[in-house]
């Protein structure tokens, strides 16, 4: 039995991971559950899975549940307890399902404690790819990708030498606005942005999918996971989301991974790796699918992808700047304070104004993250 820790258990990745575990009760023991503030769902999960340790990162949410009786489960709260939970001793795999920069510190803690990482928090590799991959090497820790595209690369690369990779073909659904022009996106509403055509995901990543920022984050994530150059990563728009990504090798062969778009599959593969297990995911029927189509991404309209390549190539703190500005912009968009296309203005403003620092440490990144957040919040007020 593998002992699993799920960080961010009430989010989209967390709930789907628990569904995977529900379907494979003899393969996993849930040792740790952590969430931020969704008290109601968290209490239900703790009752059902009876983890050894349960942590709510948000102090006031913790106070609400503090008096509950969770039997043998140790229950604690606060940011410190959350980071400590990532290193809990009685765990084999830590699934990082929380979103945003806040996931970086607990991921580093888990690596330093020698845990296998099932990585769903892509921001970790975007802002600190260099630090995190070095640490993983130092502690002999495997990072297993949960993101569907990177999970696809990982499957295509089983038994292959990474040195023979010619190109990673990163597929993108194109999101709800594929084919639209700037004039049609000016007044895009929150509901339109959140209506993703193929994937069922959390709000933040769904906005990122509409802006193609998500694909940009995934380009940087792929660079660090597979140690290749940015010009070896090509984004291919594939609206059906059946091919989850492809690897082109030096001999011209291309290997692709296909499946119904259901996040439970990449989550399960990361958790059961190197084994495969039966899953509830719908099987593909090629007589129904008939067509798989491909397009070039429109990076002049969806500038998120262009900015990400630029930030990645500049390196140093720039991917952190890019990510922090986007996190602030998305939050403000979801609260109705800025328009959809202004997300790009917030990112561009931060990338122009923040000075790049090379030689990264965790401290430099925390500083850069908060400086960019402040700059971006002020910029939004001035709009
Ligand atoms: Mn993805």
Strand partners for 30: 4
- Contact predicate 33/57, CB 8 Å: no
Is 363 exposed, middle or buried (CB count within 10 Å of its CB: 0-12, 13-18, 19+)? Answer: exposed
The span from the CA of 117 to the CA of 6, in Å, is 10
DSSP H helical segments within the chain, as ranges? Answer: 12-23, 39-49, 59-65, 79-85, 104-112, 122-138, 148-156, 182-185, 190-194, 203-211, 213-226, 264-272, 286-289, 303-314, 318-334, 342-353, 362-382
Calculate how far, in angstroms, residue 57's C-alpha sits from the geometric centre of ligand 1. 25
Report d(CA 240, CA 77) in Å as an integer: 42
- Name which of 198, 267, 266 is nearest 18 in CA terms: 267
User: Ligand 1 centre from 205 Cα, in Å?
Assistant: 9
pLDDT of residue 82: 97
pLDDT given at position 200:
83
Cα gap 335→244, rounded to integer Å: 31
Q: Going by DSSP bridges, is the β-strand pair 254-258/243-249 parallel, antiparallel, or unpaired?
A: antiparallel
CA of 235 to the centre of ligand 1 (A): 12
Instruction: Give the Å distance between the CA of 148 and the centre of ligand 1.
Output: 5
Determine the straight-line distance between the first and last CA of the chain, rounded to whole angstroms. Answer: 54
What is the CA(223)–ligand 1 centre distance, in A?
14
Residue labelled with tokens 């339109």: 192
Q: Which structure tokens are listed for 226? A: 């597979």
Which residue's entry shows tokens 């150059």? Answer: 229
Q: How far is the CA of 104 from the centre of ligand 1 (A)?
A: 18
Taking the centre of ligand 1 as the mean of its atom positions, its distance from the CA of residue 175, in whole angstroms, is: 11
Rounded Cα gap, residues 262 and 167, in angstroms: 25
Rounded distance between C-alpha atoms, residue 324 and residue 101, angstroms:
7
pLDDT at 261: 96
Return the pLDDT at 124. Answer: 94
Question: Residue 203: what pLDDT?
Answer: 92
Neighbouring C-beta atoms of residue 46, cutoff 10 Å: 23
Query: How do strand 93-96 and strand 2-7 relate by DSSP bridges?
Result: parallel
- CA of residue 17 to ligand 1 center, whole Å: 16
Residue whose structure tokens are 């990482």 = 117
The reported pLDDT for the residue numbered 128 is 97
Ligand 1 centre distance from Cα of residue 338 (Å)? 25
| Contact partners, residue 232, CB within 8 Å, separation at least 6 | 165, 166, 167, 168
Tens digit of pLDDT at every position of the chain (383 positions): 999 999 999 999 999 999 999 999 999 999 999 999 999 999 999 999 999 999 999 999 999 998 888 899 999 999 999 999 999 999 999 999 998 999 999 999 999 999 999 999 999 999 999 999 999 999 999 999 999 999 999 999 999 999 999 999 999 999 999 999 999 999 999 999 999 888 888 899 999 999 999 999 999 999 999 999 999 999 999 999 999 999 999 999 999 999 999 999 999 999 999 999 999 999 999 999 999 999 999 999 999 999 999 999 999 999 999 999 999 999 999 999 999 999 999 999 999 999 999 989 999 999 999 999 999 999 999 99
CA atoms of 280 and 268, how far apart (whole Å): 10
Separation CA 7–CA 104 (nearest Å):
12
């Amino acid at each position: 039995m593998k002992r699993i820790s799920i960080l961010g258990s009430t989010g989209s990745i967390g709930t789907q991971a628990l569904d995977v575990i529900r379907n494979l009760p003899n393969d996993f023991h849930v040792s740790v559950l952590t969430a931020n503030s969704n008290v109601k769902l968290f209490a239900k999960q703790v009752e059902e899975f009876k983890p050894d340790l349960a942590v709510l990162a948000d102090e006031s949410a913790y106070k609400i549940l503090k008096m509950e009786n969770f039997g043998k489960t140790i229950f604690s709260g606060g940011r410190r307890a959350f980071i400590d939970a990532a290193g809990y001793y009685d765990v084999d795999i830590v699934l990082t399902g929380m979103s945003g920069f806040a996931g970086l510190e607990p991921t580093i803690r888990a690596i330093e404690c020698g845990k296998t990482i099932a990585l769903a928090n892509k921001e970790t590799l975007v802002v600190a790819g260099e630090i995190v991959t070095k640490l993983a090497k130092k502690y002999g820790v495997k990072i297993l990708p949960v993101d569907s595209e990177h999970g696809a690369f990982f499957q295509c690369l089983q038994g292959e030498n990474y040195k023979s990779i010619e190109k990673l073909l990163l597929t993108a659904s194109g999101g709800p606005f594929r084919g639209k022009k700037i004039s049609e996106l000016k007044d895009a509403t929150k509901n339109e942005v959140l209506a993703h055509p193929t994937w069922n995901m959390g709000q933040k990543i769904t906005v990122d999918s509409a802006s193609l920022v998500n694909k940009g984050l995934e380009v940087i994530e792929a660079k660090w996971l597979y140690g290749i150059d940015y010009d070896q990563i090509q984004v291919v728009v594939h609206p059906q989301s059946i091919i989850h990504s492809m690897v082109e090798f030096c001999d011209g062969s291309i290997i692709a991974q296909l499946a119904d778009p259901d996040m439970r599959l990449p989550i399960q593969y990361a958790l059961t790796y190197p084994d495969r297990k039966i899953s509830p995911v719908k099987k593909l029927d090629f007589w129904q699918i008939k067509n798989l189509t491909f397009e070039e991404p429109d990076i002049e309209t969806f500038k998120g992808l262009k900015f990400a390549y630029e930030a990645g190539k500049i390196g140093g703190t720039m991917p952190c700047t890019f990510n922090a500005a986007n996190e602030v912009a998305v939050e403000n968009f979801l609260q109705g304070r800025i328009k959809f296309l202004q997300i790009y203005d917030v990112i561009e403003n931060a990338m122009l104004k923040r000075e790049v620092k090379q030689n990264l440490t965790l401290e430099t990144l925390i500083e850069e993250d908060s400086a960019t957040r402040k700059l971006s919040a002020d910029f939004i007020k001035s709009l």
